[in-house]
Amino acid sequence: MKSAFCLRMHLVSVLSAALLAGAAVPAHAGLFGKDSPVPQWGLDAAKTPTPANIGDASAVILFDEYVEAIDGQGRAVEREREAIRILKPQARHEFCAVSYDVDEKINYFREWTLAADGKTFQAKDTDFVDVGAGEEDAVRDIPILLQTEKTRIVRPPAEDVGATILCESEELMAPWKREKVWNIQEGRFVYEALEIDLPPGSQFAESWHRYQPVKPVEDAPNHWRWEIKDMPRLDLRDVKASPAWDALAARMSVRWGDLAADGRDNQWRALGEWIEQLETNRPSPSPEISAKAQELTAGSSDFFAKLTAITAYIQKNIRYFVIERGIGGYQAHFASDIYRNRYGDCKDKTTLLISMLQAVGIRAHYLQVDSDRGVVDPDSPSLYSDHMITAIEIPSGFKDPRLQAVVTAKDGMRYLIFDPTDERTPVGNLPSYLQGGYGLLATGPSSQVIELPVLDPSANGSERSGKFTLAADGTLSGSVDTLNFGPQGAELRQFLKFTDEKERREYWESMVARDLPGVVLDSFQFVEPDSLAKPLEFHFKVTAHQYAHMAGPLLLVRPRVLGSAARYFDDKPRKVPFDLEATGRWHNSFDIALPTGYVVDETPDPVDLDMDFASYHASVTAKDNVLHYERTYTVRQVELPADRAADFRKFESTILSDEKGTAVLRKQ
């Protein structure tokens, strides 16, 4: 389960059709929709034939060009020209969009349609609509992250199959922006280009993610142009167990001003210094903060005790909520305000944590990451990410086995990595979605990109045991006791936070019903869910009618009563890695007392499969009229390369076979 998204750094160029559908009111484009002839660039682009190799694309982007004109103060004016050909009916609701915030301005935004029958249209004022970019949590239906950012959308006239949509816009960007992230796989592109026009003497830095760098051409003095042809769309819709789209899609980042530096390490340093400068004085502890921190740590004897007291306070008492305004997408509020209001976003929570730790003599720093593993690329310096967490300096020589999420920086400094936004993962551990990713450690001149640790399987998982009685009519009843560790326990705790009693029962009943159709959850109990230091205990009792099935003289019963570890797999060629989600160890032990008069005729074969990335051991035994099932499933890596697809299939199919394994009972 992901933490809440926090930073608004993924610039939106195309929004979902649902958003457009939701914008029921047509808007005026003001000065932006004035009649003007179809531009020559559009006429030229429209001559581009549709490529033969479009795959499943419903539209093809014939031409897409960004020009970033940077002034002497580093402020950019961005112009985009785009030509899209509609190929299939489902693309009839494609549209162009320009996002803007409080300190930005759309200079103009025009659209023309070259219809399949040769007619030409231009969008008028009534075809434009502005919509707010407030992001709402669909599950909770409560807004927790709102933004002042808005998006202007044009609904192209005559948008039928065969039509070519031409859009051109120009926008004055926020004065503090120094980076353009060029997403080059958002569609099926025939041709795309990025230009940057810098003032004399200015420098730029570029970096590429999952794409061989393209050499720019200097069209004019300090005016650079990158071009890409025939870029396929990255479509992960039918790819299961895939890393996030952002982690896999090709992109390029170009930076200027203070963010331009030579060499990878210097570029990361420049970005880290920019963050630190942006947050200057934000964490300064107020007297109230200092007093609270002292109060919380009074009597704490060592580093870990102090740390736990403060992190637990922030996790429990600072509510996740923010309205981001302009640079507020990057910059935290002041710690004193956060403390007074008791709410904030990830930057705010990190700021308050740094502040409170500072008040008790512990140094901590901003660590910018992404909530999807693989988005932050150590070889591609960029601010492109969506989350802020905390790197806490560990005193020299201090050791404690509870400090698991530890990273050693290049200068030898050890940091404990902690996500204060995740309200349920205890300090020392690390949410699974962060493990194996990278982050930008903002420590002034020593800022650097660091790899986040992948924790040992023992730091995550569950221990589940069940004792059941099977009746002769097939009814299974019994109790299940589970201990949930690390991130697994945190996810469950998070679930408890956002559900009431009725929802918990419904959810859990539906989960159990996957394995036990028609189950009745007789009772359930979570023990001390707020106690982060302990594994989360979960106990429940169930009754499932007709769990075992008569087949002639036989009674068939599945020894693996509950829980599935098998992931989806298929025989399709694999091009992207497998996301294994989390390391961990899950152990099940089930005893089923058999009905009188039945004996075990057959049991499934034991399974012992040990691979480098995971292992699976399962066995079924019968003794004293009790059927005993035991399995241990261990995952040691969070990702598996695509060329290991055969191993993945073998592993998952083995699990599936075991999970479906049936014991055959025969009436004596």
Count of C-beta atoms within a 10 Å radius of residue 365? 23
Cβ distance to other proteins smaller for residue 32 or 268: 32
Give the shortest CB-461-to-other proteins separation in angstroms: 12
Min dist CB 631 to other proteins, Å, is 13
Distance, in Å, from the CA atom of 420 to the CA atom of 356, rounded to the nearest integer, reads: 12
Interaction between residue 129 and other proteins (CB under 8 A): yes
Give the neighbor-by-neighbor strand order of the sheet with 164-172: 120-122, 105-114, 164-172, 76-86, 59-70, 189-197, 223-231, 217-220
Residue 399 contacts other proteins per CB under 8 A: no
Length of the chain (residues): 668
602 binds other proteins (CB under 8 A): yes
Residue 115 or 406 with smaller CB distance to other proteins? 115
Q: Is 110 left (phi over 0), alpha (psi -120 to 50) or beta?
A: beta
List the Cα angle 399/268/433 in 5-degree steps: 55
DSSP of 483-542, one letter per residue?
EEEHHHHHHHHHHHHT--HHHHHHHHHHHHHTTSTTEEEEEEEEE-TT-TTSPEEEEEEE
Q: Count CB atoms within 10 A of the CB of residue 591.
A: 18
Using the contact rule CB under 8 A, the part of the chain among 187-195, 221-229, 443-451, 503-511 near other proteins is 503-511
25 versus 220: smaller Cβ distance to other proteins: 25
The encoded tokens of residue 541 equal: 């009792």
Residues 264-323 that bind other proteins (CB under 8 A): 317, 319, 321, 323
Residue 291, SS3?
A: helix
Please pick, from the candidates 294, 518, 528, 597, the single residue that binds other proteins as defined by CB under 8 A. Answer: 518
Stretch that binds other proteins, among 267-275, 282-290, 295-303, 547-555 (CB under 8 A): 547-555
Nearest to 96 by CA among 107, 108, 82: 82
Mark the segment that binds other proteins (CB under 8 A) among 6-14, 66-74, 122-130, 640-648: 122-130
Find the binder of other proteins among 61, 483, 562, 638 (CB under 8 A). Answer: 562
**Is 106 near other proteins (CB under 8 A)?**
no
Of the residues 123, 250, 388, 427, which one makes contact with other proteins according to CB under 8 A: 123
Q: Which residue has the tokens 């070889």?
A: 379
Neighbours of 103 (CB within 10 A): 15
Candidate segments 157-165, 365-373, 406-414, 450-458, binder of other proteins by CB under 8 A? 157-165
Find the binder of other proteins among 14, 181, 406, 513 (CB under 8 A). Answer: 513
Question: Residue 325 interacts with other proteins (CB under 8 A)?
Answer: yes
Q: Which stretch binds other proteins (CB under 8 A): 141-149, 350-358, 370-378, 623-631?
A: 141-149
Q: Smaller CB distance to other proteins: residue 203 or 523?
A: 523
Q: Please identify, using beta-carbon distances, which residue of 275 and 476 lies nearer to other proteins.
A: 476
CA 479 to mean position of chain CA atoms: 35
Min CB(559)–other proteins separation in Å:
12
Coil vs helix vs strand at 217: strand
Interface characters, 20-59, with other proteins (x: CB under 8 A): --xxxxxxx---------------------------x-x-
Nearest partner of 243 among 387, 457, 433, judged by Cα? 433
Name the nearest CA neighbour of 584 among 479, 467, 480, 483. Answer: 483
Q: Find the binder of other proteins among 103, 135, 265, 515 (CB under 8 A).
A: 515
Which uninterrupted H or E stretch holds 554? strand 554-557
Contacts (Cβ under 8 Å, ≥6 apart) of 301? none
**Residue 434 Cβ vs other proteins, minimum distance, rounded to whole Å:** 19
Burial environment of residue 40 by CB neighbours within 10 A (0 to 12, 13 to 18, 19 or more): exposed
Least Cβ distance, residue 390 to other proteins (angstroms): 22
Out of 245, 569, 590, 648, point to the residue binding other proteins (CB under 8 A).
Answer: 569
Q: Is the distance from CB of 115 to CB of 107 less than 8 angstroms?
A: no
- CB-wise, 58 or 625, nearer to other proteins? 58
- Nearest CA to 307 among 444, 405, 433? 405
Q: Contact with other proteins (CB under 8 A): which of 604, 629, 634, 648?
A: 604
Name residues contacting other proteins, limited to 163-222 (CB under 8 A). none
Stretch 226-265 residues interacting with other proteins (CB under 8 A): 237-238
Number of residues that bind other proteins (CB under 8 A): 106
Binding to other proteins by CB under 8 A, coded x per residue (else -) over 577-596, reads: ----x---------------
User: Stretches 199-207, 222-230, 288-296, 551-559: which one binds other proteins (CB under 8 A)?
Assistant: 551-559
Dihedral (CA of 504, 505, 510, 514) sign: positive
Q: Choose the binding region for other proteins from 134-142, 188-196, 398-406, 637-645 (rule: CB under 8 A).
A: 134-142
φ, ψ of residue 646 to 5 degrees: the values are -65, -40
Report the residue number, 217 or 599, with the smaller CB distance to other proteins.
599
Q: Read off φ and ψ for residue 402, nearest 5 degrees.
A: -75, -15
Q: Which is nearer to other proteins, 245 or 268 (CB)?
A: 245
Q: Report, in Å, the least distance between residue 431 CB and other proteins.
A: 16
Residue 233 in contact with residue 190, Cβ under 8 Å? no
Q: Nearer Cβ to other proteins, position 74 or 563?
A: 563
Q: Which of residues 63-102 bind other proteins (CB under 8 A)?
A: 88-90, 92-93
The C-alpha angle 173, 179, 181, rounded to 5 degrees, equals: 100
* Residues numbered 623-652 forming contacts with other proteins, rule: CB under 8 A: 650, 652
Smallest gap, in angstroms, from Cβ of residue 344 to other proteins? 10
Which 337-396 residues touch other proteins, going by CB under 8 A? 340-343
Residue span binding other proteins (CB under 8 A) among the ranges 171-179, 294-302, 354-362, 564-572: 564-572
In the numeric block, which tokens belong to residue 214? Answer: 């393209």
Beta-strand relationship, 364-369 and 438-442: antiparallel
* Cβ nearer to other proteins, comparing 59 with 260: 59
CB 551, min distance to other proteins, A: 3
Burial 161-183 (b: 16+ CB within 10 A, else e): eebbbbbbbbbbbbeebbbbbbb
Smallest separation (angstroms) from other proteins to the CB of 336: 13
Separation CA 524–CA 648 (nearest Å)? 35
User: Interface with other proteins includes 525 (CB under 8 A)?
Assistant: no
Q: Pick one of 17, 413, 554, 576: the residue that binds other proteins (CB under 8 A).
A: 554
Q: For strands 406-408 and 438-442, give the pairing.
A: unpaired
481 binds other proteins (CB under 8 A): no
Query: Among residues 66 and 112, whose Cβ is nearest to other proteins?
Result: 112
Q: Which is nearer to other proteins, 276 or 537 (CB)?
A: 537
Q: Provide the minimum distance between the beta carbon of 133 and other proteins in the complex, in angstroms, as a whole number.
A: 9
Write the Ramachandran bin of 298: left for phi over 0, alpha for psi from -120 to 50, otherwise beta: beta
